[in-house]
Structure 1
Amino acid sequence: MTNSASALVLDDHPLSASGIADFLLSHCGFGTARSVSNVAEFWVALDPAKPLSLAVVDFWLPDGASLSLLVELKQRCPTTRLLAISADDDAAVLDKVRLAGADGFLHKQESPEVFGRAVAALLQGDSWFHGGVKFAGREFPNKELPVTAAELGLTARQGQVLAMMLKGLPNKRIALNLSLSEQTVKEHVTGILERLDVRNRIEVITKLRGRRLE
């Protein structure tokens, strides 16, 4: 791929959006990749006169599902390849984004390598709707090495936050599940990134590949 490829990432969690944009630049050969955290910023950043090569859009946004955005984006920029992502385990999500005009769907629990292959497929004109999106009850291979929060230098609470990060849950969902404020969750996420010596969630997933957090 030449570095003329351009991308725009929409995820209402800036850390995730920035991590995906950085990955597109560093591992997928993109020349430009911007990240935005809300729909208004997305439309401002979009220039129909300079169509994007790829748009990565989170399925769930604060105002609800991004289906109407996907439909409008496909109408405005028919040549832009659309990749929807989500941490939702509902199998219906895949069909919904396909009908809305997405060219591919990827669960946030997939590995960076799979993300890279999906992006490459979309840029080649193919679609990416491989497999199902049901991750609940998924069995991890026995070769995965179990690791505890303490072994990673994390507190028990940070371990709980990390486990949910690895499932692709946003800060709001983590805060709700652990009965914490969103600000406290953000502080835990910052501490986890510092302890693991990584910059974003994508790098967390990459670093812990082959390990199972217990």
Structure 2
Amino acid sequence: MIMINERSALVVDDHPLVARGIADFLRTHCEFARTDAICRVADLWMHIAQFGAPTLALIDFWLPEGTALSMLGRFRDDYPATRLLVISGDGDPMIRDKVRRLAADGFVLKHADPAVFALAVAAVLRGDAWFDDTSVAAPAANEARGLPLSHAELGLTPRQGEVLALMLKGLPNKRVAQQLSLTEQTVKEHVSGILERLGARSRVELIARLLGRRSDV
């Protein structure tokens, strides 16, 4: 059986900037001796075979292949000593509940304050669960208080405005496509257009910049 490394973390997220940013945060603020970022799910189990199971696995709920539920189940079965913390930009309470039922150790939103994120990591490492119900509800409350922005004010097309509104709610491309009856590729093209128009380098940067604002479409 593979032994657990001393205070190591593995971040699984298909967005390289997000994955590496979280890995750097864990190393510099949470006292991990080793942190690695995995952006291709196909590389995950090979990485563990080479370097051993991590102390903490921090996994994005939405991955290109779909949800991370099967991955979480395999982690729990094969590496029971690894603590599992799920992250997501999607604040749907059903996601948190599914993660909890699968016996993951915690769930935290990607746009949580860094101090809250550090508290979540510390909690699961000491054996506690972290399912902050108030943090899941926070985006809706912020959205209700936020100043409205129309697509015209932002220089976007009406359809781009609809996509942006769902992005600000934390929905991944797949769910945006489902809600707007579009293909996922079309949504990706709209997201690229939105990022270019608003001068953001990534989806994460855009959401952080507009956090608390709502798009009137």
Same fold per superposition (TM over 0.5): yes
> Distance in 1 between the 2:97 and 2:199 partners?
38
Show the counterpart of 1:36.
39
> Distance in 2 between the 1:75 and 1:122 partners?
18
Long gaps (5+) in structure 1: none
> Distance in 2 between the 1:128 and 1:137 partners?
18
Deviation at 1:97, TM superposition (A): 2.4
Deviation at 1:48, TM superposition (A): 6.8
Deviation at 1:189, TM superposition (A): 1.1
Is residue 97 of structure 1 aligned with residue 99 of structure 2? Answer: yes
Alignment TM-score, normalising by the size of structure 2: 0.71
Show the counterpart of 1:9.
12
Deviation at 1:102, TM superposition (A): 0.9
Given the superposition, is the C-alpha separation of residues 186 and 138 from structure 1 closer, same or farther in structure 2, using an over 3 Å criterion? closer
Show the counterpart of 1:23.
21
Show the counterpart of 1:129.
131
Give the secondary-structure state (helix, strand or coil) at the position aligned to 1:46: helix
Given the superposition, is the C-alpha separation of residues 34 and 100 from structure 1 closer, same or farther in structure 2, using an over 3 Å criterion? same
Is residue 154 of structure 1 aligned with residue 166 of structure 2? Answer: no
Give the secondary-structure state (helix, strand or coil) at the position aligned to 1:106: strand
Higher relative contact order, chain-length normalized (CA < 8 Å, sep 6+):
1
- Aligned with 1:206 (options 205, 208, 214): 208
Q: What RMSD, in angstroms, separates the aligned Cα atoms of the two structures?
A: 3.5
Give the secondary-structure state (helix, strand or coil) at the position aligned to 2:153: helix
Alignment TM-score, normalising by the size of structure 1: 0.72
Q: Is the 8 A contact 1:147 1:212 kept in 2?
A: yes
Aligned residue pairs: how many? 203
1:123-175: CA deviation from partner (whole Å, max 9, x where unpaired) = 45442112168759943376533222333333222221111122222222222
Map of 1:155-194 to 2, 5 A cutoff?
155-194=157-196
> Distance in 1 between the 2:40 and 2:85 partners?
16
Given the superposition, is the C-alpha separation of residues 123 and 207 from structure 1 closer, same or farther in structure 2, using an over 3 Å criterion? farther
> Distance in 1 between the 2:47 and 2:153 partners?
42
Long gaps (5+) in structure 2: 1-6
> Distance in 2 between the 1:136 and 1:150 partners?
27
Map of 1:98-113 to 2, 5 A cutoff?
98-107=100-109, 110-113=111-114
1:35-91: CA deviation from partner (whole Å, max 9, x where unpaired) = 3354x4332333374332432334456776544432321343334321124536354
Show the counterpart of 1:50.
52
